Structure 1
Amino acid sequence: MITLRKITLENRRAIFNLEVSEDQRRFVATNLSSVASCYVLATNGGHPFPFAIYADEQPVGFVMLTYGITGYDLPSIADGSYCILRLMIDKQHQSLGYGREAMIKILEFIRTFPTGPAQYCWIPYGADNLAAKKLYGSFGFRDNGEICHNENIAVLRL
């Protein structure tokens, strides 16, 4: 069973050591970099939510959600919307359905509107990341035609 858990002193190293496969590294920042970005966002008025993704008691991935990002070059949909800014499943745990199960939990969490109401959730992805596009599309995310920082922007109405 997949769960989203806070990153703690006890699990942080395990989360920082998770990695995607070599051919996927160009698509996602390291988890350590992402957690550092959470600090920067939080101290600049944003609302980041970094979570460890667990399969039962085993950490298998990481997700970084945001709301209220300011001061960056962002797509038009960003203001007042939630964003799945980073999502990764460790290379040893891929192709087991964990990404799909994690997306269910991620969207359930977002739909609790933890920092405010929103009509949309958006997610950036590399145009050549066909696996990501397929996964996001299966949940109803659709490209809105924008490209931001060389990534396509897909949007879901909440």
Structure 2
Amino acid sequence: MRTLYPAVLLAPISTRDEEAECCALQVRDEQIDFIASNAESLEEAAECPWCEPLAVRAVHSGEMVGFLMHALDPDDNGRWLYRLMIDRHHQGLGYGRAALRVLVAYLRDLSGGPDITLGVAPENIGARNLYASEGFLETGEVLDGELVMRLRT
């Protein structure tokens, strides 16, 4: 039997209302230490021209259910997934997996190296399992206390 995941759309965050909607999204209390806040991520994106923050929207309702940010690292010409978060009210419904799949497809069409790299907190077992199930492999590297995982596209 094939598992179906909700359809998601990745959309630019281009208005103050969308920024406020994004900043209102929250992870579960036990996940707070695993990821920077969306407000911090939007500030980082405003300062780094190579970062692209995107809203994760449910296609059926248009509701913002999560946030992600990727970047083309100018140092190594590699694609990085800097953030992926799904609001606590929408976790466990497949939105994270769906967003990751849409992002990987999107990044394949952009310039940059053939890999997608990310860092994940070692204690964030749920995220590590999600990334591994989508083909990301732990490289053995640790960057700023995070395990580095890479997907060959």
| 2:88 maps to 1:81 | no
Secondary structure, counterpart of 1:26 in structure 2: helix
Q: Are residues 1:27 and 2:30 paired?
A: no
In structure 1, the residue matched to 2:107 is 110
Question: Shift of the alpha carbon at 1:119?
Answer: 1.5
Give the structure with the larger helix fraction. 2
Amino acid at match of 1:149: D
1:67 aligns with 2:72: yes
Aligned residue type for 1:8: S
Residue of structure 1 in register with 2:21 after alignment? 14
Q: For residues 102-132 of structure 1, give each alpha carbon's deviation from its aligned partner in whole angstroms, at most 9, with x where no partner exists.
A: 111110111111xx23121101001111101
Q: CA deviation at 1:12?
A: 1.7
- CA–CA distance in 1 between the matches of 2:46 and 2:74? 12
Q: CA RMSD, aligned part only?
A: 1.0
Number of the residue aligned with 1:128 = 123
Paired AA for residue 107 in structure 1: V
Q: Take 2:126 and 2:38, find their aligned partners in 1: how far apart are those partners? A: 20
Confirm or deny: 8 A CA contact 2:72 2:112 kept in the other structure.
Answer: no
Question: Distance in 2 between the 1:16 and 1:108 partners?
Answer: 26
Structure 1: unaligned runs, 5 residues or longer: 71-78
Using the alignment, how far apart are the partners of 2:112 and 2:100 within structure 1?
20
Contact 2:136 2:151 (C-alpha < 8 Å) held by counterparts? yes
The answer to whether the 8 Å contact 1:127/1:151 transfers is yes
Question: Do the aligned partners of 1:50 and 1:63 also contact (CA within 8 Å) in 2?
Answer: yes
Give the C-alpha shift of residue 69 in structure 1.
4.6
Tell me the residue number matched to 2:43. Answer: 36
Deviation readout 1:24-71 (Å, 9 max, x if unpaired)? 0000111111010012222xxxx111000001211000001011255x
User: Could you say which residue in structure 1 is the equivalent of 2:90?
Assistant: 93
Gaps of 5+ in 2: 1-6
Q: Secondary structure at the match of 1:33?
A: helix
Task: Among all aligned residue pairs of Structure 1 and Structure 2, give the percentage whose two residues are the same amino acid.
Answer: 30
User: Following the alignment from structure 1 to structure 2, what is the Cα–Cα distance between the partners of residues 154 and 124?
Assistant: 6
